[in-house]
Structure 1
């Protein structure tokens, strides 16, 4: 019998396994898919150290009208999903009020602060193949209008003063010097200097998985049939075989409710779906660094497979059929700024970001069961926070003092406790 079963082989599950193995625990990792092929695979590839402010629910009337009338590229919703999504979205809106949001940022910032530290540890341990995937330049938050750039610079100055976030302001000429193949239409950009970017997120997760195996971790591919507490141990059935361990970790992202609800944990989780597509470049152009176009609502990043465009948030049911409407809008907007070539993928990639109404993940012991732990709900920052979550869970499970206070991320906050 192993010490720990981890359900979910995305970046959170793999990182948790690594940190537990480093502390002498034996670990078996279980997933229906190959490691890192779900949400860990399809993101924009930012280790987002500057992301101390999680994505709040819009509260200004103009943005709400744009989303409500399906005019927004940054966010859209499926009308048929609204009855089921309404309760958590209402809580999301409430938690996004200025008073609540300030408290969220105060709690969230220390967690984001662990992002580079823990990724750096895993990259160094994984070796040169992982290091080759990393750029330490940062990325560009680019604006089409000077007034919106000015407002965002004021916010950035506040984050620099409060949280030590590094940045520089680039006018159009300075941005053009760094990205000579941009066509125009931009007032300038904030160059966030602290984050790192990854040219192939899936490949980095694969390197972390190799580290997991090198340290002695085992992986079983197959759909786990539930999770059961058997006295002092936990078990699940995979491919007709029973797997047992003394403790269990649920790191299943948007699929976590499938295991948690039979155990009596009904949490107000919802998903924000997103899409990506890779493109060639026209006219011999090159995009050197990731650029986010917030006034439209998409990012384009130079990746190993081409220029990757990632979309904003789609509020829909997790398993509903793809509706990549936002991708078409994002592509048209991106072509205004950069000479994209042809689409390189046969169809858009679709993923689901697991979200909580208060915009903070659950990194916690399950309150009603001995030996059960949960790491879910990272929304837009799952790739960024996977290693930090793994570190904190491993520290909690082995009785160490955690690197930061994880009280704000406990599961009980959604259970009246």
Structure 2
């Protein structure tokens, strides 16, 4: 059995949905299809999910989302019309969703309805069974998959039937709709793949695989033919956006291969993501960068003489809503990088004041505007020429390094640079290494 996930661009309008049906019909092994909410039809268009978040924002201000929701409804009714489907049964479904959003069911409920409506529509068009992710997919508070999910899905999915499943959401342990992070339909596809022990998980998008570098920055960027689970996770972790960085987790133990393919060019081979790969003279798979980081630097003489100090400091950060992504340690110092969107300046200032007082720090500093650049590949620790080549590329481009992380992973080398230097860093590294 093959599980397929189709992203927002693949279901953006009727023409794209026809392509999806043609792809699915071409292989009878494709029996479970996960769909996203309709994405942009052109560069000036709006994603349905963004409009739904805006609907919830209006409700939170004490206003009705009725007028804005008409734009959401029109996306689906336009698709129904173009597919020559009867709109009448769908109108009450749309109205029920609007009423629930207006009743204050919250941001996660509102955002999830894009996928819900997409799956309802496509299930009718295909003549397949609609399987709602709520309540069979149970999501823990930290965003991980609750163990109850596997038994729920085993009971829900019947042999011989074909299913359309909305991506991006399930329910929390109390039965309330809960979403994964943006792009989470990839995770839903992985969950379904493991639940049915699929022979293959196909992830259909609008590009012909995972690129070694952002093709918007480098015109001759190549598609990576094969990469490992670890490589795709680490590449996604530093900004590569084709495959969600958390979507590997549900299927690692099952070893299910993933094929990233292009809905608009279905005959292209795409990228195969497998448990491990032979380096075979190709130690690197790609280079990417992620911006939007803030940096905390704290120092205290004999800092690590106190048992449990790291855990205590991290606990305080968590209290203020900050969860660092990258960490560096000196003999008397710690540096953490975290997503700047996690806390406002006022919250950060309050946290710093409390940290300095409670832990008697010698100093604590915070600044914004940082980026993390990653050089990713299974052979980064084997090629002794990589570090000199990378630092030479930075020097040639006159880019200042804020840190170098080498050795904490045998699949990546990380560099810290100013956010404004991120694109230049990627381009110069790619020219030097590829």
Larger Rg computed on CA atoms: 2
Q: Which has the higher strand share?
A: 1
Q: Assess same fold via TM > 0.5.
A: no
TM-score under structure 1 normalisation? 0.23
Taking structure 2 as the reference length, what is the TM-score of the superposition?
A: 0.22
